[in-house]
Structure 1
Amino acid sequence: MMTRQSSASGEQGLSLEGLAIEAYRDGVVALDLELNVLAANGAAVELLAGDAEGLVFPCELDSFVLPVSHEYDWLQEMVRERICYRNHVVRVMRNGKERTLLADSYFLRGSDGENAGLVLFLKDIGNLVSLERQVHHHEKLATVGKIAAGVAHEIRNPLTSIKGFLQMMRHELERQGMEKEHSYTTVMLSEIERVNGLVGELLLLSKPRELKMEDLEVEELITVISPLISSESILHNIEFSMQLEPVPPVYADRELLKQVLWNLIKNAIEAMSEMDGGKLIIRSSFQERDGLVRIDIRDSGPGIPHYMLDRIFDTFFTTKDTGTGLGLPICQRLVNDLGGKIQVTSKGYGTTVSVLLPGLAL
C-alpha cells in the first residue's frame, strides 16, 4: 500500500549534512526542489541511471536519468508535488528485465529548517515478488492437481467398461462381416484412447511420480532421441540441427527428462507446422556462474505474444484449437521434481524454451 504525505503534514525531514549515503546497501538519492540530483549512492545509480560513468554530483535530473523514461516522470512528479512516499512499489526496466523497487521518500531540510528537497530510499524487492508469484502458482497447481486426480479416477473407471464392451462389439461386427459398422468402432476406440491419454496427463499433473535418479550425460540423452526428432522434422518440412557443447552431467530421471524434452520439441514442431517449414535448433550450454546445465529448444515459429507469456504455464490455458493446456504445466511440474526450472522467451517471431538443471561437479 502507498501513502503520500505533502509538506503540509509537518513531518520531520532529514538533513543532507552528515547523511553517509554510500553506507546504505539500498539505493539513496537526494534531490533539491529545482530538479537537481545533489547526491546518489552506487546502488541508486545502478537501479535508476544504470551507468555511473561521467556522473558528477550535483547534476541535473535529466543527466541522471533519461528525460523520456518512466523513472524521470516519476521523480519529477515527486519533487514538483512535494510527495513523500511510503512503501510505494515502482517497476523499472534494466537490461531488458523488469525490476521491482520499494520506495520511501522524506523531506530534506536546509540549514534554516526549510524544505530544501527530498531524499529517496529504494529497496530492490524483485526476489520477494518472484517468490510470492511462485508460491501462488504452486498452490494453484496443487489445488488443480487434487481436482484432476479425483476427476481422472471417476473418468477412467467407466471408460474401462465402455472400452471392454466396445471391443466385444467390434469382434462380433467383424465376425458378421459388417465392415462399415466395424470401422465405426475403430474410430470410437481411437477416441477412447485419446481420452485415456488425457486422463493419464491429469494424473501426471496431480502427483509426482516415483523418480529413478541417476547421473546423465545430456549430449548422450539428446543424441538418443535425435533420430525421432529428425523423422518428425522431415515429416513437417523442418530443418533440424543440434549445437551441443560439453556440459557437466546432471542428476535426473532418464525417462522423465526424455519425456519433457520430447514434449517441448513436439510443441516447437507444431508451432511451425502451419508455416510450411522452419528451423528447429537444440542447444546445450553450461551457465558456470549459476552451476546450471541449459538445454535450449528454439523454433522459428510465429512466437508467443508478450501478453500471453505470463499465462503459458497456467493449467488448461492454450492457444491451439485442439490443445488441452496441460503440456507445459506438466513439463514444468516434471522439471520442478528434478530440481530444475523452465524458461520461455519469445521476441517478434520464434520461441526458445529452456530447461535448466543443476550440473554435477566434475
Structure 2
Amino acid sequence: QKAVGRYNQLLYLRRPLKQSFMLTLSLVLLLAVLFAAWAAFQWAQRLLEPIRELARGTRAVARGEYGERLAVSRLDDLGMLLQSFNEMTERLAEAREAAEASQRLVERQRAYLETLLENLSSGVVSLDPQGRLRTLNRAAAQILGVRAPERLIGRDIETLRRGNDTFALFIDQLAAQLHGADEECHIQLALQGKEGRKIVMCHGVRLPTGGQVIVFDDVTALIQAQRDAAWAEVARRLAHEIKNPLTPIQLSAERLRRKLLGKLGAEEARILDRATQTIVAQVEAMKSMVNAFGEYARQPRGEVGMVDVNQLVRDVAELYRANAAGARLELDLAPELPKVRADADRLRQVLHNLFNNALEALGERGDGWVRVVTRGSADGEAVEVEVSDNGPGIPEEMLERLFEPYVTSKSRGTGLGLAIVKKIVEEHGGTVWAENRPEGGARLVIRLPAAR
C-alpha cells in the first residue's frame, strides 16, 4: 500500500518535473545559442577590423594621402598585410617626395634657362622635329622684327613665313640647314627689314632628340664700325698727305702763268693759259674732295640741344622750293612730333644731303616730286624722317654698300654724301637705311631717339 502511494505520488509529480527540466534545458540552450552568436559576432568584428583598416588606408592612398599609417594589433596574416601596406605607403610617400623634389629642380632649371635665354644678346630659335617653333627669345624677336613672339610658339614654319617678311627671309636662307643632314652649320645671312639691311651670323645645331637650335647675332654694327674706322683712317691720311702739296702746285701754276704769259706768242700763251687754268681748277677740285674726306673723318664738335625736327625740315625745304629740276616738294609733317637731342647744324647737313640726292635723282623729268614725311614711332621712343622720290630708284647692286664712301651712281660729286649722312646719324644714336619703293623711286629713312 505504501509503495502504491509512493508510485502515485511520483506519477503525480512527473509532469511538473518534466516541464521544469524542459524549461531549464531550453534556457540553457538559449543561453548557449546567444553566447555562440555573441562570440561569433565578436570574432567577426575582430576579423573584419584589419580589413576595415585596410579599406580606410586604401581610400587615403586614393586621395594621395601617403602619410596615413594603419594600426597593427595582431601578428597573424592580416597583421602582416597591414604592415606590408604601411611599408608600401611609406615607399610611395618617399617616391612622391623625390618626384616633387625632381620636379622643383626641373622647374628651377627651366626658370634659369628661360631667364638666361631672355637676357642673352644672341638670338635663339629652336624647332621641334615637326618644324614647329619651340623657342624664340627676346633678342631673336628684336633681330627678326617679331612682335608678340609668345603667340608664335607652337606654329609651323609655313605659318611663321606668312606672318613676317624678315622671318620668312631668315627661314628661306636657312632652308638648306633645316632640311639637310648636317649636324652643325655656320652661315652668314643678309636680312632686309624695316630698319634696313642686317648682317646675321648663324650657328645651327641638330638636336639628338630631333629638331634644331639656331643661335645668331646681329653683326651689322660691328662690320659697319670696322668699315667706318677703315675709311676714316683713309680719309685722315688722304687729307694729310694730299692737301699739303696742293697749295704749292696751285701757287706754282699761277706764278708760271703770271711770269710767262706775257712773254710767249699768242698760240703758246693760249696753251699756257688753258693748261694753268686746268691745273688750278683740278687743284680746287682735289681740295674740295680732301675737305669732304676731312669732314667725314673729323670728330663731332657741335652743340647738342633740343631740336624741333619739323621746323628744321621746313627751314631746309624752303631752300629747295625753287629747284632747277622743277620738282614738286611735298611735306607731310606729323603734329606734336617729339623733339630730339642733337646738333642742329649737323642734322641740317643731313637734310641738305638727302634733299640734294633726291632732286639730282629726278634729273630733268617734268613730273618729278620729292616727299618728306616725319612721324613718331608707335612706342614714342624715336622720330623718323623719310625722304622719297619718284626717280629711277637705287640699283640693286648698290643697296648693300650705299652708305660707304665712294659708292655713288652719279657722274659727279665725291661719293661721300650718304657716308657723311650715316656717320652723323649714328653719332646721334640713330640709324639710317635706304630701299626702293614698289611703285618706283627711292626711299631713305633716318631714325633718331626721341628726347626724354
C-alpha RMSD of the superposition: 4.2
Kindly tell me: are residues 122 and 299 of structure 1, through their superposed partners in 2, closer, same or farther at Cα, counting changes over 3 Å?
Answer: same
> Which residue does 1:245 correspond to in 2?
334
**Aligned pair partner of 1:75 in 166, 174, 178:** 178
AA in 2 matched with 1:346: N
> Which residue does 1:194 correspond to in 2?
285
State how far apart, in whole Å, the 1-side matches of 2:175 and 2:225 are. Answer: 33
SS at match of 1:342: strand
> Which residue does 1:229 correspond to in 2?
320
State how far apart, in whole Å, the 1-side matches of 2:309 and 2:159 are. Answer: 49
8 Å contact 1:236–1:269 — kept in the other structure? Answer: yes
Q: How does 1:1-362 map to 2 (within 5 A)?
A: 25=117, 26-31=124-129, 36-37=130-131, 40-43=133-136, 69=172, 71-77=174-180, 81=181, 83-85=182-184, 88-89=186-187, 91=189, 100-108=201-209, 118-125=210-217, 127=218, 129-158=219-248, 161-162=251-252, 165=255, 192-232=283-323, 235-246=324-335, 247-289=337-379, 291-347=381-437, 349-361=440-452
State how far apart, in whole Å, the 2-side matches of 1:141 and 1:315 are. Answer: 7
AA in 2 matched with 1:119: G
AA in 2 matched with 1:41: R
C-alpha deviation, 1:283, in angstroms = 1.4
> Which residue does 2:25 correspond to in 1?
none
Q: Deviations over 1:17-55 (max 9, x none)?
A: x99999654322232xxxx44x641429988x9999899
C-alpha deviation, 1:159, in angstroms = 5.2
8 Å contact 2:321–2:329 — kept in the other structure? Answer: yes
> Which residue does 1:11 correspond to in 2?
none
SS at match of 2:369: strand
Kindly tell me: are residues 94 and 211 of structure 1, through their superposed partners in 2, closer, same or farther at Cα, counting changes over 3 Å?
Answer: closer
AA in 1 matched with 2:331: M
AA in 1 matched with 2:215: K
State how far apart, in whole Å, the 2-side matches of 1:335 and 1:63 are. Answer: 36
Where in structure 2 are there 5+ consecutive unaligned residues? 1-105, 118-123, 163-170, 264-269
State how far apart, in whole Å, the 2-side matches of 1:54 and 1:214 are. Answer: 42
8 Å contact 2:177–2:204 — kept in the other structure? Answer: no
8 Å contact 1:152–1:203 — kept in the other structure? Answer: no
Kindly tell me: are residues 137 and 187 of structure 1, through their superposed partners in 2, closer, same or farther at Cα, counting changes over 3 Å?
Answer: closer
SS at match of 1:231: coil
Larger strand fraction of residues: 1
Larger helix fraction of residues: 2
Q: Deviations over 1:144-169 (max 9, x none)?
A: 22222213422443255258648968
SS at match of 1:304: coil
State how far apart, in whole Å, the 1-side matches of 2:450 and 2:253 are. Answer: 45
Among all aligned residue pairs of Structure 1 and Structure 2, give the percentage whose two residues are the same amino acid: 19
State how far apart, in whole Å, the 1-side matches of 2:396 and 2:413 are. Answer: 20
C-alpha deviation, 1:347, in angstroms = 3.9
Kindly tell me: are residues 76 and 268 of structure 1, through their superposed partners in 2, closer, same or farther at Cα, counting changes over 3 Å?
Answer: same
Kindly tell me: are residues 292 and 65 of structure 1, through their superposed partners in 2, closer, same or farther at Cα, counting changes over 3 Å?
Answer: closer
Kindly tell me: are residues 193 and 172 of structure 1, through their superposed partners in 2, closer, same or farther at Cα, counting changes over 3 Å?
Answer: farther
State how far apart, in whole Å, the 1-side matches of 2:377 and 2:343 are. Answer: 21
AA in 1 matched with 2:396: H
C-alpha deviation, 1:104, in angstroms = 1.0
State how far apart, in whole Å, the 2-side matches of 1:102 and 1:329 are. Answer: 31
SS at match of 2:215: strand
8 Å contact 1:280–1:297 — kept in the other structure? Answer: yes
SS at match of 2:401: coil
Q: Which moved more, 1:242-251 or 1:341-350?
A: 341-350
C-alpha deviation, 1:106, in angstroms = 2.9
Q: Deviations over 1:121-152 (max 9, x none)?
A: 12232x2x223212322222222222222134
State how far apart, in whole Å, the 2-side matches of 1:28 and 1:187 are. Answer: 65
State how far apart, in whole Å, the 2-side matches of 1:295 and 1:277 are. Answer: 23
8 Å contact 1:21–1:41 — kept in the other structure? Answer: no
AA in 1 matched with 2:394: I
State how far apart, in whole Å, the 2-side matches of 1:268 and 1:236 are. Answer: 11
State how far apart, in whole Å, the 1-side matches of 2:394 and 2:215 are. Answer: 32
C-alpha deviation, 1:266, in angstroms = 0.7
C-alpha deviation, 1:360, in angstroms = 1.4
C-alpha deviation, 1:107, in angstroms = 2.5
C-alpha deviation, 1:102, in angstroms = 2.2
8 Å contact 2:429–2:448 — kept in the other structure? Answer: yes
State how far apart, in whole Å, the 2-side matches of 1:283 and 1:167 are. Answer: 52
Q: Deviations over 1:332-352 (max 9, x none)?
A: 223333333322122453111
Where in structure 1 are there 5+ consecutive unaligned residues? 1-17, 109-117, 174-179
Count of aligned residue pairs for this structure pair: 313
C-alpha deviation, 1:88, in angstroms = 2.6
Kindly tell me: are residues 208 and 55 of structure 1, through their superposed partners in 2, closer, same or farther at Cα, counting changes over 3 Å?
Answer: closer
Kindly tell me: are residues 54 and 186 of structure 1, through their superposed partners in 2, closer, same or farther at Cα, counting changes over 3 Å?
Answer: closer
TM-score in terms of structure 2 length: 0.57
SS at match of 1:230: coil
AA in 1 matched with 2:204: A
Kindly tell me: are residues 295 and 21 of structure 1, through their superposed partners in 2, closer, same or farther at Cα, counting changes over 3 Å?
Answer: same
Q: Deviations over 1:312-353 (max 9, x none)?
A: 222222222223222211222233333333221224531112
SS at match of 2:374: strand
